């Protein structure tokens, strides 16, 4: 017999009220209230050997039978049991006194709290089932470990003896309508299906432990799991006290055949001693048979602390703007180090702008400015309650590319990641929007931010960038040109790369040409020829095409026979190249533009706010604030920026503009809107016959084209700026 017990009451200190277990207290108490809450029920114990099995209580559980304490258990994520032999055949009164973490008794860093307290808050209660189990043996004893389905060969991993790429989605356990992380029944199945439909094959349970039922249903659907033990920002003095709980979790979960990776904690830095991390890795390797185990997800190379790392794969968390990713990723490749799989345990977030109008209308508890429902607790990010009710922040119309910006960022980033044979997998941040972030593949209401690019699907293709190292000051520097943009009318060499377990002769490249304004579309099919195959990656023979003026070219990969597309059509952008700037003088003391000087009354300078000549002035330092261009923000009135070709890492400081030109004497042309803090800063402003901007018109960051002559988008934006000021390409320097 394995019978759930559901007839319960809970007493918060002012009398019992009926409740159903599983139960986690939430909005009926102040978010910071730690308890104790007392749960009561009456249970008849059978004559056979029986046990009470508690599948999850947060955090402290003091179990009493007929007012006698029979068990005390600390720990959120592991199950525990009570032997009922002494009460066989009797009807007993069962009480459970519960204190949650997050208060003064059990502060968040002192116990294995995971990351949920930093997302919203802690939860308390008997939040998973309590069952009466008739059995001769303790029902929480570990089940036999299974043979791992994962194989490791140098940098490569296999699953069920077939080459495999880990494509994961990061889950912190947050659910917008609930305080505890568990889903059940049809809701659980729908959640797994939605993630799988996007192309992911793995869920990383980041700093929380799912139910056994979750893992069983995932396995039935062909989904794998990565378990990260719930240690983040721990109190070093309390870490050893968490060890037994962590080991119990590993032992109780080792039997699931779809757990493909384990990490002991996340971004531990200097907070976890090397000896402790080494011991835990050895324990997990021995206890689970899993060949992918790492001590600290993110690693000491990225997060500092003791440089010693332990584990069987490299795990990095690179977060940066689109145009920096190729160089950052290349710096994380193995090189002369030991050959082990490289997996990005979390990366590539993009925060979208929330639907603040809907939040205001529906008033969800997690966005409330009522501390009873939404106290800050240990959260460092706490801007939403203030901004959600600030009506001055609402715009009736805002011309931005919102979810599409996240698709573009992930698409371009995964172009590089998935074309690297050494990189065995990745985990995208993240699953769903939370009170501290809006980087979810699903928004605050669980609605999918549709991704038509196919970036996460098993079969994937991209184009290899061209190496274009420029000659600067007597020598070469690193440089590339994107395969996704071209000068109008030039010949373009396309070199496709396909990631798939299928042979290359099962795919064809589709070129779609559309003449601007003529509504005419021509399609061409090109059979791909293999040049080299390494693991899952096939590099194909180059294809040369002529890119005509006034023509939009789209590319797509399709499967032969079925005609099924591998992702969406992807554009190859085209711009005219500006070679003459009549009447313009370039003042470039920073060397950013790499443009030969010429004479004119109009100026393009890199002197920042210090210059008051009419023209365009690029600002790099004074009068600016450090801000990313793609991550955690969107642009208003900024237009399209393929590959972030002119992306700065700074925005203009309004207070500096007020000081330099006087309040009200400048007008913003392009804004940066922070999608976490809702801060608005200008990227470009106009002051009379001048425009000041932080946009890098000459590129030079990451894999941007270097120099104005090479940066076609920079040329177009500069032309637009000058035209706004009254410059004309037909104007001579004498006429200016």
Query: By the 8 A CB rule, do 292 and 273 touch?
Result: no
Cα–Cα separations (whole angstroms), residue 112 to 40, 108, 252: 26, 8, 16
pLDDT at 397: 44
In angstroms and rounded to an integer, the radius of gyration of the C-alpha atoms of the chain is 29
Listing DSSP states for 630-699 in one string gives: STTEEEES----GGGTT--SEEE-HHHHHHHH-TTS-EEEEEEEETTT--EEEEEEEETTEEEE---TTB
Kindly provide the residue ranges of all beta strands, DSSP E only, lying in 306-354, ordered along the sequence: 314-316, 342-347
- Looking at residue 185, the DSSP 8-state letter turns out to be H
Cα–Cα separations (whole angstroms), residue 625 to 399, 620, 636, 637, 692: 23, 9, 18, 20, 14
Q: Measure the CA–CA gap between 401 and 407, rounded to whole angstroms.
A: 10
Could you tell me which residues come within 8 angstroms of residue 692 by beta carbon, excluding any fewer than 6 positions away? 608, 609, 617, 619, 623, 652, 657, 666, 684, 685
Q: Measure the CA–CA gap between 167 and 157, rounded to whole angstroms.
A: 12
Q: Measure the CA–CA gap between 736 and 726, rounded to whole angstroms.
A: 10
pLDDT at 548: 79
Could you give the domains of the chain? 2-134 (2.60.120.260), 151-353+405-450 (3.20.20.80), 354-399 (no CATH), 463-575 (2.60.40), 584-725 (no CATH)
Question: pTM value?
Answer: 0.95
Q: Measure the CA–CA gap between 220 and 407, rounded to whole angstroms.
A: 29
Q: Measure the CA–CA gap between 483 and 412, rounded to whole angstroms.
A: 11
Q: Measure the CA–CA gap between 703 and 483, rounded to whole angstroms.
A: 12
pLDDT at 606: 93
pLDDT at 399: 41
Assign 571 to helix, strand or coil: strand
Q: Measure the CA–CA gap between 347 and 423, rounded to whole angstroms.
A: 13
Task: Name the burial class of residue 112, with classes exposed (0-12), middle (13-18) and buried (19+) by CB atoms within 10 angstroms of its CB.
Answer: buried
Task: Name the burial class of residue 661, with classes exposed (0-12), middle (13-18) and buried (19+) by CB atoms within 10 angstroms of its CB.
Answer: middle
pLDDT at 127: 97
The pLDDT averaged over each successive group of 10 residues in the chain (736 residues) is 77 95 91 96 95 97 97 98 97 97 97 97 96 96 95 96 97 92 95 96 98 98 98 95 96 98 96 96 97 96 90 97 94 94 96 85 90 94 74 49 78 94 96 94 90 89 91 88 86 92 93 77 89 92 85 90 88 85 91 84 91 94 94 85 92 97 96 90 96 96 92 94 92 47
Q: Measure the CA–CA gap between 323 and 303, rounded to whole angstroms.
A: 22
């Amino acid at each position: 017999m394995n019978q759930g017990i559901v007839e319960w009451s809970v007493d918060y200190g002012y009398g019992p009220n009926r409740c159903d277990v599983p139960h986690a207290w939430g909005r009926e108490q102040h978010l910071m209230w730690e308890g104790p809450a007392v749960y009561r029920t009456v249970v008849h114990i059978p004559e056979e050997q029986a046990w009470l099995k508690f599948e999850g209580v947060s955090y402290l559980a003091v179990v009493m039978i007929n007012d006698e304490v029979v068990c005390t258990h600390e720990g959120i994520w592991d199950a525990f049991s009570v032997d009922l032999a002494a009460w066989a055949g009797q009807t007993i009164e069962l009480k459970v006194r519960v204190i949650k973490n997050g208060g003064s008794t059990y502060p968040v860093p002192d116990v294995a709290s995971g990351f949920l307290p930093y997302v919203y808050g802690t939860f308390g209660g008997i939040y998973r089932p309590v069952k009466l189990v008739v059995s001769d043996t303790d029902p929480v004893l570990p089940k036999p470990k299974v043979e791992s389905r994962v194989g490791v060969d140098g940098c490569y991993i296999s699953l069920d003896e077939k080459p495999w790429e880990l494509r994961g989605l990061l889950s912190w356990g947050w659910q917008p309508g609930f305080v505890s992380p568990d889903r059940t029944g049809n809701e659980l199945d729908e959640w797994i299906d939605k993630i799988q439909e996007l192309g992911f094959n793995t869920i990383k349970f980041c700093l929380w432990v799912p139910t056994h039922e979750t893992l069983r249903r995932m396995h039935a659907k062909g989904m794998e799991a990565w378990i990260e033990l719930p240690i983040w920002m721990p109190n070093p003095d309390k870490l050893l006290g968490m060890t037994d709980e962590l080991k119990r979790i590993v032992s109780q979960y080792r039997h699931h055949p779809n757990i493909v990776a384990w990490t002991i904690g996340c971004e531990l830095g200097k907070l976890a001693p090397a000896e402790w991390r080494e011991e835990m890795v050895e324990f997990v390797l021995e206890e689970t048979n899993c060949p992918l185990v790492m001590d600290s997800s993110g690693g000491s190379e990225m997060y500092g602390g003791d440089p010693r790392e332990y584990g069987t794969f490299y795990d990095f968390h690179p977060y940066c703007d689109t145009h920096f990713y190729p160089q950052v990723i290349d710096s994380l490749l193995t090189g002369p180090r030991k050959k082990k799989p490289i997996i990005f345990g979390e990366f590539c977030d993009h925060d979208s702008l929330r639907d603040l109008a809907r939040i205001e209308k529906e008033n969800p508890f997690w966005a409330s400015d009522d501390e009873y429902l939404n106290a800050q607790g240990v959260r460092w990010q706490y801007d939403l309650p203030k901004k959600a009710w600030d009506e001055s922040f609402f715009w009736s119309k805002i011309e931005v590319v919102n979810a599409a910006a996240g698709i573009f960022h992930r698409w371009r980033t995964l172009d590089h990641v998935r074309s690297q044979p050494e990189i065995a997998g990745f985990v995208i941040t993240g699953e769903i929007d939370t009170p501290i972030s809006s980087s979810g593949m699903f928004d605050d209401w669980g609605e999918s931010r549709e991704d038509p690019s196919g970036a996460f699907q098993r079969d994937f293709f991209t184009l290899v960038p061209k190496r274009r190292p420029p000659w600067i000051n007597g020598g070469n520097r690193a440089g590339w040109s994107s395969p996704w943009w071209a000068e109008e009318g030039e010949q373009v060499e396309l070199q496709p790369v396909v990631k798939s377990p299928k042979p290359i002769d099962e795919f064809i490249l589709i070129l779609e040409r559309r003449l601007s304004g003529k509504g005419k579309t021509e399609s061409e099919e090109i059979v791909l020829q293999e040049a080299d195959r390494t693991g899952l990656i096939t590099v194909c023979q180059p294809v040369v095409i002529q890119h005509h003026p006034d023509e939009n070219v789209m590319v797509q990969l399709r499967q032969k026979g079925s005609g099924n597309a591998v992702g969406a059509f992807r554009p190859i952008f085209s711009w005219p190249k500006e070679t003459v700037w009549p009447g313009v003088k370039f003042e470039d003391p920073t060397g950013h533009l790499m443009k030969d000087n010429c004479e004119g009354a109009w100026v393009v300078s890199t002197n920042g706010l210090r210059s008051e000549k009419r023209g365009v002035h690029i600002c790099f330092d004074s009068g600016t604030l450090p801000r990313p261009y793609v991550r955690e923000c969107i642009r208003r009135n900024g237009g399209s920026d393929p590959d972030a070709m002119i992306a700065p890492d700074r925005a203009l400081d309004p207070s500096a503009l007020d000081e330099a030109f006087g309040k009200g004497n400048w007008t913003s042309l392009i804004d940066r809107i922070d999608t976490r803090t809702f801060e608005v800063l200008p990227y470009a402003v106009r002051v009379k016959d001048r425009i000041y901007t932080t946009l890098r018109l000459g590129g030079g960051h990451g894999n941007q084209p270097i120099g104005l002559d090479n940066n076609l988008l920079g040329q177009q934006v500069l032309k637009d700026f000058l035209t706004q000021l009254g410059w004309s390409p037909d104007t001579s320097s004498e006429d200016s």
